Amino acid sequence: MKVGIDSISFSIPKIHLPIETLATNRGIDPLKLIKGLGLQKMALLDVYQDVITMAANAAHKLLKNNPTIAPKEIAKIYVGTESGVDSSKPIASYVIGLLEQIYGPRSFKNCDAVDHTFACIGAVDAMQNAIDFVKANPTKKAIVIATDYAKYDLNSTGEYTQGAGSIALLITANPRILAFESQTGVATESVFDFFKPRRTVSKQAITGATTNEPWQGVLETEIAIFKDQPVFEGQYSNECYIKQIREAYQDFKAENDLKDQKVYKNWEAILMHLPYCYQGRRTFYEIVLDENPELVNRLAEDAKDQIKAFSKSEAFMQLVQTKIAPSEIASGQIGNIYTGSIFLGLLSTLTHFATTNKAITGKPFGFIAYGSGAKSKVFEGIVQPNWQSALPKQSIFDALNLSTAISFDAYEGLHKKEIKTAVIAPTNEFVLDFIEKEDPNLVGARYYRFVQ
């Protein structure tokens, strides 16, 4: 029995900042970001949007694209995210509440719901858990949602990689898009390459009081602070990325008894986690060289020069253009969406192949996922005969063409949360209505509504 992705949908913001605008205002050569990293635009959340609205909108589109599926048929809603808004209540439970505004009260009352968190690989974990569930219960269906907002400090080295978006997947038996049959390769190590810690500041520094008086309901001497922006070290994170994907790739070969095969050569497309558009092409050559050690002497004094030369070689760039570049198209116009990045690459690739009428039925796609902290997973999916029929009604490329560019001042105003009115009025979507601030039993509760 085959199990995998039966349908796919997306939700992306309606506004963006052109990378050239950011570069110009930050004193960076635009070509360094555009040509060097493949960046074109950064998708940005409007004031009424967050990871919950994006998740619910993606799930709603998924169900609208599959009108024969009733809510009672969805047994699981699993969310992968590293942008949770609550340390207890999961995004998945919010999504159920929002969907019930459309499909009726308690229409999802028998649906299991949970969030999965492991940096950018959480949605892969969510999908694999959903696949295992459907394998054990082939008449059941599950929805997996990746939803994230990649926000970095202004003027930081990660600022130009920001982005936002959500991808929803329908997981079923006999899927129309991809079936997953092979074993997964895994590599895990506890590191601090990128993380979002709970930070603290002394109460005295805020209040100026010399005694520990209550402040905003806090009795402790320290005030906890949570920031959407991560603590990270870019170069170290890149090294961790390379190490983990190489180890996971080798584990994939071992788990599937493929030690003597150069597996990547069989993959029609390669889907990698893309924290920025060209991350895949700027790291995958390490796996190619592992498979072809005769191409570079890693022990030689000029090993780094040899590796660099290979990464720019005609042979490797040909591999990039045929197997990796299709996944980069949407990434360059949206930015990093953390857990959704690898699935955005999948959607971009499928849309590109549909547009170019490429015959891919029966072909394997290779997935190389990564999450800081750190973990990599390598696995394979086989394209199914009816894959084109299950793509979104609106092309991801068409949606990106409708995005509105905003000014640099508006971007900084949104980033600092100084702008309180919508840049683009919402239509036919879920929006954040308000956050409770008065009722002591509901302080912080988030309320949403659907806008026609």
Concatenate the DSSP letters of all residues of 89-102 into one string: S-HHHHHHHHHHHH
pLDDT tens digit at each of 452 positions of the chain: 999 999 999 999 999 999 999 999 999 999 999 999 999 999 999 999 999 999 999 999 999 999 999 999 999 999 999 999 999 999 999 999 999 999 999 999 999 999 999 999 999 999 999 999 999 999 999 999 999 999 999 999 999 999 999 999 999 999 999 999 999 999 999 999 999 999 999 999 999 999 999 998 899 999 998 899 999 999 999 999 999 999 999 999 999 999 999 999 999 999 999 999 999 999 999 999 999 999 999 999 999 999 999 999 999 999 999 999 999 999 999 999 999 999 999 999 999 999 999 999 999 999 999 999 999 999 999 999 999 999 999 999 999 999 999 999 999 999 999 999 999 999 999 999 999 999 999 999 999 999 99
- Encode pLDDT of 356-410 as tens digits: 999 999 999 999 999 999 999 999 999 999 999 999 999 999 999 999 999 999 9
Q: Exposed, middle or buried: residue 357 (CB in 10 Å: 0-12, 13-18, 19+)?
A: exposed
Q: Exposed, middle or buried: residue 364 (CB in 10 Å: 0-12, 13-18, 19+)?
A: middle
State pTM to two decimals.
Answer: 0.97
Please state at what angle helix 51-64 crosses helix 91-103, rounded to 10 degrees: 50
What six digits make up the tokens of 452? 């026609």
Cα torsion 226, 229, 230, 233 to 10°: value is -150
Q: What phi, psi does 281 have (nearest 5°)?
A: -65, -25
CA distances from 152 to 201, 391, 394, 448 (A): 20, 32, 30, 26
Three state DSSP letters for 251-286: HHHHHCCCCCCCHHHHCCEEEECCCCCCCCCCCCHH
Q: What phi, psi does 28 have (nearest 5°)?
A: -105, 140
Which secondary structure element, helix H or strand E, spans residue 114, and what is its range? strand 112-116
**Rounded distance between C-alpha atoms, residue 211 and residue 207, angstroms:** 10
Burial 285-302 (b: 16+ CB within 10 A, else e): bbbbbeeeeebbeeeeee
SS3 313: coil
What six digits make up the tokens of 401? 């063409």
Closest by Cα among 450, 447, 448, 449 to 428: 450
**Rounded distance between C-alpha atoms, residue 156 and residue 242, angstroms:** 23
Task: Look up residue 197 and give its amino acid.
Answer: P
Closest by Cα among 203, 200, 201 to 219: 203
**Helix (H) and strand (E) counts for the chain?**
14, 19
Closest by Cα among 108, 89, 88 to 99: 108
**Helix, strand, coil fractions of the chain, as percent rounded to 5:** 40, 25, 40
The predicted structure's pLDDT at residue 427 = 97
- In order of their start, the domains of the chain are 3-193+233-451 (3.40.47.10), 197-227 (no CATH)
* Residue 208 Cα to chain centre, angstroms: 41
Cis (ω within 30 of 0) for the bond into 374?
A: yes
**Rounded distance between C-alpha atoms, residue 335 and residue 274, angstroms:** 9
